Amino acid sequence: MIRKEQLNKMTNFLWEIPQSYREDMRVPARVYATEEGLEAILKDDSLDQLINVSTLPGIQKAAIAMPDAHQGYGFPIGGVAATKYPEGVISPGGIGYDINCGVRLLATDADYNEIKGEMENLATELYNNVPAGAGKSGPVNLNRQDFDRLLRRGAEWAVENGYGGSEDLEYIEANGRLDHADPNVVSERAKQRGQDQAGTLGGGNHFLEVDRVSKIFNQKAAQALGLHENQVVVFIHTGSRGFGHQVATDYVKKFQSKMNEYGINLPDRGLACAPMDTRDGKDYYHAMAAGANFAWCNRQVITSEVRKAFRNVLGTQAGKIDVVYDISHNIAKLEVHEINGNSEKVMVHRKGATRAFGPGHPELPDAYRDIGQPVFIPGSMGTSSYVLTGTTEGMQSTFGSTCHGAGRNMSRTAAKKQVDPNKLIRRLKEQDIHIQAASHSGVAEEAPLAYKEVDMVVETVEKAGIAKRVLQMHPAAVIKG
């Protein structure tokens, strides 16, 4: 494992492993972290995985790790890598098994102080409306032809079928649809696994959370986002469920068997990849897009169920519930970035990292063009979460990317050994945080102590200049799978 003294300290919040560290590195490896944060990251193999990422054919500038980085499969979670298009590669390990796992933030008209007494009822209603846990079926169960249509159209399919309005689509990354999705390059097994899962939360670290806005740091940006103190907001964190997992499984296996044909030799089979100018590379790109579309549709259907739950519990007090934004943090996107003074097309892999485009970017909604793209950094079910915005500096240094959460600092197994879920649920209730969960073991796995300190993570990205704080939120009700 690499040691701290082998890294070059570039700033108080950026460290570099030089390309000379290992002869197969094509670019440096960089990690955003404080001294304390780096010590935490060095406890697992995430930086050794980042070094391996730097060996990918066609990789540009640097392999990058965010301050929430921890060990993953192939790529570290919290990893960013851009490969030259079309001769560079695309790697499922740089996207993750939960394709387009992401976060959506909804803004309600409700004031926390006025509905605080209904929070436990609201948590129960949300839990009843949104299926949570592994393998759960949702409200959408389609025949194969209609499911293929969903995979092509993403969140648009959901809106067309009564799950929300067209105004929601404007505030979703890519408007909730990648138009290069192709169900024909997706396996029958993947379709079987996903066919009845739209509108479900899943398990693991996925959650549905009701928060109150507790502190504003940037009034102008908060106002542009339609957010203010004591407002009740809702986080939806889920992805492509069994469908995306199967797509990734299928293509990792395929790429691992064909690497020799491409003349690619990598230090970790978890980095299995294919050149983008090959049939295999294109097929995965189209299949991944189908997974991304499924995830956006999933979050759109859940949004509709959240609106119903609020109306059922609060009636007219619920008011209007708007989509603030929806961002992916497990995806590869074809983007244009400045490299060595030139605008270049690159395939940006973000795994446990989120897009964070700066002000003026043409892909942003008009309402957010002046402030930059909204970024969401959830903490844990017992700590605060943050809304930030992307920066111009981040466009230059991280391909317009930042971190996606606090990041784990303890395995699920270790957390279950240390946490009594009943005591944790009682302690959180004493803090006016109401938990509804499919299993007590899942609560233990997701205990606050299992995660890095979110305040430190947010401070790191802000002082490094790759995102700016807008506001802070605290949980009031949490639904876990």
Task: Tell whether 208 is in a known binding site.
Answer: yes
- 376 by DSSP, 3-state: which? strand
Task: Tell whether 125 is in a known binding site.
Answer: no
Task: Tell whether 205 is in a known binding site.
Answer: yes
Would you call 363 exposed, middle or buried from its count of C-beta atoms within 10 A (0-12, 13-18, 19+)? Answer: middle
Task: Tell whether 209 is in a known binding site.
Answer: yes
Task: Tell whether 298 is in a known binding site.
Answer: no
Task: Tell whether 343 is in a known binding site.
Answer: no
Catalytic residue among 70, 337, 349, 404: 404
Task: Tell whether 407 is in a known binding site.
Answer: yes
What are the helix and strand counts (H, E) for the chain? 16, 19
404 counts as catalytic: yes
**Tokens, residue 210:** 């009701």
Would you call 83 exposed, middle or buried from its count of C-beta atoms within 10 A (0-12, 13-18, 19+)? Answer: buried
Side-chain half-sphere exposure of 462, counting CA atoms within 13 A: 18
**Tokens, residue 389:** 């915005």
Distance CA(46)–CA(61), nearest Å, equals: 19
At residue 465, φ and ψ (nearest 5 deg) are 85, 15
Task: Tell whether 411 is in a known binding site.
Answer: no
- 41 by DSSP, 3-state: which? helix
Task: Tell whether 237 is in a known binding site.
Answer: yes
Task: Tell whether 428 is in a known binding site.
Answer: no
Task: Tell whether 54 is in a known binding site.
Answer: no
Task: Tell whether 147 is in a known binding site.
Answer: no
Task: Tell whether 70 is in a known binding site.
Answer: no
Distance CA(21)–CA(23), nearest Å, equals: 7
Task: Tell whether 379 is in a known binding site.
Answer: yes
Q: Are 70 and 450 in contact (CB under 8 A)?
A: no
Distance CA(49)–CA(72), nearest Å, equals: 8
Task: Tell whether 320 is in a known binding site.
Answer: no
DSSP of 117-186: GGHHHHHHHHHHHS-BSTT---S----HHHHHHHHHHTHHHHHHTTSS-HHHHTTBGGGG--TT--GGGS
Side-chain half-sphere exposure of 424, counting CA atoms within 13 A: 25
Task: Tell whether 286 is in a known binding site.
Answer: no
Distance CA(150)–CA(152), nearest Å, equals: 5
Q: Are 19 and 25 in contact (CB under 8 A)?
A: yes
Task: Tell whether 204 is in a known binding site.
Answer: no
User: Which residue positions form the known binding site?
Assistant: 98, 205-209, 237, 329-330, 378-381, 385, 404-407, 480
Give the residue numbers marked as catalytic. 404
User: Which residue positions form the known binding site for Mn(2+)?
Assistant: 98, 206, 237, 329
User: Which residue positions form the known binding site for GMP?
Assistant: 205-209, 329-330, 378-381, 385, 404-407, 480
